[in-house]
Structure 1
Amino acid sequence: MHAQDTDALHLALVEALGADCVSLDAAVAEAHAGDWSDAPRMRPRMTLLPRTPEDVARALRVLAKHRQAVVVQGGLTGLTGGATPQAGEVALSLARVNAIESFDRIGGTLTVQAGVPLEQLQTFVKAEGWFFPLDLGARGTCQIGGNAATNAGGNRVIRFGTMRELILGLEVALPDGTMLSMMNRVTKNTTGVDLKQLFIGSEGMLGVITRIVLKLEPKPSTANTALCAVASFDDAARLLKYLRARLASLSSFELMWQDFMSAAMDIAHLKAPFGDAYPAYALVETLGESDDDDRRALEQSLERMLEEGIVQDVIIAQTIDHAKQLWAYRETVGELLSKLKPHAAFDIGIPMDRMERLVEDARASLSERFPQQTHLFFGHLGDGNLHLLSGPYADATDLLQVEELIYAAVSKAEGCISAEHGIGVIKGPFLHYSRSEPEIELMKKLKALLDPTGILNAGRVMK
């Protein structure tokens, strides 16, 4: 774009937002040049830092008039390149759109702006006697708007569902600057098409989420954590079924295969939890109201599983610090991601009855074709979300082969290529493994309807 066009766009944005909300500074651009993914970093043409939802709408109105492509950015913790700018794009950061606006302490709903960090939100409602159950390793950095845009899942989906189940209402700035208010605050609302569902999980390609009404839960007063050693995936699945039937307070069931556990201990200098190594480990958490009753129920359930040989060994956390030590194995993921770059990081959804076979076949195929790389398996077993981390790969051709191999296997298992991280730009070429041609065509029609100039998050999810 010519300099005069840049000047005209810059002047129009400054007029609409104010000079302090429009930056041409190289250091600011560098800070907004990429997310946590391996997508090539690219400095945006300019960086927009609106302060209010209305500012976001005004910015989009100007950008649409100038037909200027824009990438929406939250906490930049995404792993699929969705927030990484592409050539010539303007970056629209929601970091300053971060007010907690209203709190219904009786009904348990919270209205927030999109830029509120997840951990800040969790801390705020906890102090008020409420609980927001979404939890991610990136909680300190990720923003609630990005969580909604990717339909984040996290560790407690087994009990509370994904972000989609935690949202009552939304406000969205459409690509032409129209503000679409869907700020519903009630659980039951049957008044036509639930339009907010179009934007949850759509990764910002249809509109920019600016405000959210969240559904809260009463704050649990107790938490219990246990680490279980199991001899097989089948035993882990049996343990999960047994606990789901007997523990209404079951909130997490994380499965880590031995390869992942060994890598976690190595990178974080953690001690082996048991005297022997086992094929897999299940990290179990309950959240409830009665410490004695919940703990007794967990202990009795795990004792029964030990007696039946479903569980080989178990550690039940005795203190909060002890529970953190058990969770530390699972939360080494960020460090492992850094160590294995350039890597293939898979976030796939697999039907439970096909997961064991997929893991066995994938491990065998990857070990045979890429014996020098590390291949780690872990995931949220309760919701069928399997993670696979494979790397490092210096050769981009090898990386592509790994992706094709895994996504073809996922398609054969009738799973999905992204359970919670989204498609972004990195997974776009593989979307056909999870979505049919008619589905993709309908998504393209929706995109064209809501964003006829094609300025918003172009090239994300689908071309």
Structure 2
Amino acid sequence: MSDIVEALTAAFGATEVITGEAARERARSGWARLGAPLAIVRPRTTAEVSTILRLAHDHRQPVVPWGGLTGLVEGAYAEGAVALSLERMRAVREVDPVERTLTVEAGCPLESAAAAAEAAGLFLPIDIGARGSATVGGAISTNAGGNRVLRWGMMRESVLGLEAVLADGEVVTSLNTLVKNNAGYDLKHLFIGSEGTLGLVTRAVLRLRPRPTSQATAFVAVNRFDALPALLSAASAGLGGTLSAFEVMWADFYDLVTTPPAQGRAPLPRGAPYYVLLETLGSDAAADGERLETVLGEALAFGTITDAAIAKSEAERNAMWALRDDVGQTARNGPIYAFDVSLRIGEMEAYVAQVRAALGARWGEAASLTVFGHLGDGNLHLIAGVGARSPELQQEVEAAVYGPLASIGGSISAEHGVGLQKRAFLHLSRSPAEIALMRRLKTAMDPQGILNPGKIIAT
């Protein structure tokens, strides 16, 4: 037994420190590669998190925070490290309907946080596909995005305050509940999006919004790329500020999710080059539905769209969203490589064509590229296939996907973080001065380099 495991066992008891095959088995249950942790500890309080980090600091032991383990960039990879799981810190501490705030522990699933807000007649706008497993702390640490960024922004815009534990175990409690608070540095931003490399978030105060009482959803077909931003502009202007989602599917993705073995039914005939899922969230069902019909009618008249279907029931709405969420279909023809990038809308058509051409030139008929994404906020998801999978092939595919972004000001990571997988390409999206400042912050706040080591930047 290692010294750190002995110290943790002495502090928490043998039953509270998971090691050996039991730890490796838990690590195999995640979405992504997690490695074999030296031990897994599951604190119940911020004080216990502080104790764990103080002991790790004393022993110079790397610690990797674990949330819902739904990340896709190996940000929770914990080979030889102590995995600090926040699964027991999942409580909703307070809902304040007057101030419209929600205070939760970091291990609280996003879905549970949203349900607590809804029970109080309020609304937490952050929504991602892994809502049932992903935690508030994980969403904060990666600055998660999702389906409603177009209207309400990334996770950062929903965080008013937080509590974090530093590398040496010191607790920084900054549970601000004010929308306006310019009293010095806003320290929460050190931890939002830093993937647990500067400190571990244990509690958060989230900003809630009035709960929408109307929802209107439509599926439309578009026959040329330049019509997509035109439709986005028309919808943004014509829907009275209620547009909350603008999800675009290239034809290859739409074909996959509407043909067997997929269970989805095509709401519109296949054959268009692009399909868009639009959704509004508002407060007047009749007026909101009327505005959506007007916008789509004008778009049809102007030739911006070629066909449209409006959901007439909750079942139809859910069926439309199920198509967008059925990402698993992209793996049915062989191994894949998944990417999450962002770039200006005006650059997207040429960028996708360039990536598709590069894959085809290198792998011929074995190459495939499936594209979809939150186009309204500049975020594309690309799923590439080249007929096989290996570390060497992955590097080649990554170069084809990430390489063109540098010259057009794009980002290698729109909403999934950097983790280990994208670290080698960080220089394409961040300047040398920015990366140097990241290193200075890391050194200042974690001089021994024990917090989620190797993630984002090499340590």
Query: Do both proteins adopt the same fold according to a TM-score greater than 0.5, normalized to the shorter chain?
Result: yes
Determine if contact 2:23/2:36 at 8 Å carries over to the other structure.
no
1:306 and 2:300 correspond: yes
Mapping of 1:10-49 within 5 angstroms? 10-33=5-28, 35-37=30-32, 39=33, 41-49=34-42
| Alignment partners' CA distance in 2, 1:52 and 1:139 | 23
Question: What's 2:419 paired with?
Answer: 424
For 2:230, the equivalent position in structure 1 comes to 238
The yes-or-no answer on 1:297 pairing with 2:294 is no
Query: CA offsets, 1:32-84, max 9 Å, x none?
Result: 257423x4x42211111111122111100001101111111100000000102
* Residue matched to 2:344: 351
Matched, 1:288 2:248: no
* Separation (CA, whole Å) in 2 of partners of 1:289 and 1:363: 42
1:336 Cα deviation after fit: 3.4
Question: Could you tell me which residue of structure 1 aligns to residue 395 of structure 2?
Answer: 400
State the match for 1:323 in structure 2.
Answer: 317
Q: In structure 2, what is the equivalent of residue 73 of structure 1? A: 66
TM superposition shift of 1:344: 1.9
Structure 2 residue matching 1:233: 3-state secondary structure: coil
Matching of residue 204 in structure 1 with residue 196 in structure 2: yes
* Amino acid paired to 2:442: K
Partner of 1:166: 158
Q: 2:11, 2:231 → 1: CA distance?
A: 58
In structure 2, stretches of 5+ residues that fail to align are none
For residues 16 and 444 of structure 2, what CA distance do their matches in structure 1 show?
A: 29
CA contact (8 A) 2:369 2:382 kept: yes
Amino acid paired to 2:276: A
Contact 2:256 2:330 in 1 (8 A): no
Q: Assess if the C-alpha contact under 8 Å between 2:53 and 2:169 holds in 1.
A: yes
Contact 2:163 2:175 in 1 (8 A): yes
- What amino acid is the match of 1:264? V
Contact 2:95/2:120 (8 A) holds in 1: no
Map residues 185-204 of structure 1 onto 2, 5 A cutoff. 185-204=177-196
Rounded Cα–Cα distance in structure 2 between residues aligned with 1:54 and 1:342: 44
Q: Which 5+ residue runs of structure 1 have no aligned equivalent?
A: none
Change (3 A) 1:299 1:23: same
Aligned to 1:126: 118
Aligned to 1:364: 357
Among candidates 172, 177, 183, match of residue 169 of structure 2 = 177
**Kept after mapping to 2: 8 A contact 1:35/1:84:** no
Deviations 1:417-440 (A, max 9, x none): 001000000111111111111111
Name 2:221's counterpart in structure 1: 229
Cα distance between partner residues in 2 of 1:36 and 1:241: 37
Aligned partners of 2:102 and 2:205 also within 8 Å: yes
Q: Between the two proteins, what is the percent identity of the paired residues?
A: 43
Cα distance per residue 1:247-279 (max 9 Å; x no partner): 111000000000111122235232332234100
1:365-398 deviation line (CA, Å, top 9, x unaligned): 2233223133101110111001101125324322
Q: Indicate whether 1:109 and 2:109 are aligned.
A: no
CA RMSD of aligned residues (A): 1.5
Asked if the contact 2:223–2:273 (Cα under 8 Å) also holds between the matched residues in 1, the reply is yes
Equivalent residue for 1:261, pick from 244, 250, 254: 254
Judged with a 3 Å threshold, the aligned counterparts in structure 2 of structure 1 residues 127 and 381 are, in CA distance, closer, same or farther, namely same
Of stretches 273-282 and 256-265 in structure 1, the one that deviates more from structure 2 is: 273-282
In the other structure, the counterpart of 1:150 is 142
Contact 1:239 1:310 in 2 (8 A): yes
| 1:34–1:81 contact (8 Å) kept in structure 2 | no
Match of 1:378 among 372, 383, 397: 372
Does the CA-based 8 Å contact 1:349-1:386 persist in structure 2?
A: yes
Does the CA contact (< 8 Å) of 1:34 and 1:42 recur in 2?
no
Q: What secondary structure is seen at the aligned counterpart in 2 of 1:252?
A: strand
How far apart are 1:150 and its partner, in Å?
0.3
Tell me the equivalent position of 2:54. Answer: 61
Following the alignment from structure 1 to structure 2, what is the Cα–Cα distance between the partners of residues 348 and 312?
28
CA distance in 2, matches of 1:110, 1:324: 27
**Which position in structure 2 is the counterpart of 1:409?**
404
- Distance in structure 2 (CA, Å) of the matches to 1:276 and 1:141: 33
Q: Give the Cα–Cα distance (whole angstroms) in 2 for the partners of residues 337 and 139 of structure 1.
A: 21
| AA of the residue aligned to 2:274 | A
- The CA deviation string for residues 145-186 of structure 1, in whole angstroms up to 9 with x for no partner, is 000000000000000000000000010000100001111100
Question: Is the Cα–Cα contact under 8 Å of residues 373 and 393 in structure 1 kept in the other structure?
Answer: no
Q: Secondary structure at the match of 2:258?
A: helix
Corresponding residue for 1:277? 271
Q: How far apart are 1:206 and its partner, in Å? A: 0.4
Q: Aligned in 2, Cα 1:173/1:84: closer, same or farther, shift over 3 Å?
A: same
How far the C-alpha of 1:342 sits from its partner, in A, is 4.2
Shift of 1:25: 5.0
How many Å separate the matches in 1 of 2:329 and 2:289?
32
CA distance in 2, matches of 1:49, 1:342: 34
> 1:194 and 1:11, CA in 2 relative to 1: closer, same or farther beyond 3 A?
same
Q: Which moved more, 1:311-320 or 1:41-50?
A: 41-50
Per-residue Cα deviation, 1:16-40 (whole angstroms, up to 9, x for no partner)? 3344431125234321257423x4x
Q: 1:61 to 1:438 in 2, by over 3 A?
A: same
Match of residue 440, structure 2, among 411, 420, 445 = 445
Indicate conservation of the 8 Å contact 2:224/2:273, yes or no.
yes
Aligned residue identity for 1:234? D
User: Given that residues 33 and 44 in structure 1 are in contact (C-alpha distance below 8 angstroms), is that contact kept between their aligned partners in structure 2?
Assistant: no
Question: Is 337-346 or 137-146 further displaced after alignment?
Answer: 337-346
C-alpha separation in 2, matches of 1:410 and 1:102: 43
Deviation at residue 341 of structure 1 after TM alignment: 6.6
Q: Which amino acid aligns with 1:128?
A: A
TM-score between the two structures when normalised by the length of structure 2: 0.96
Rounded to whole Å, the distance in 1 between the matches of 2:177 and 2:307 is 46
Q: For residue 307 of structure 2, what is the amino acid of its counterpart?
A: D
- With normalisation by structure 1, the TM-score equals 0.95
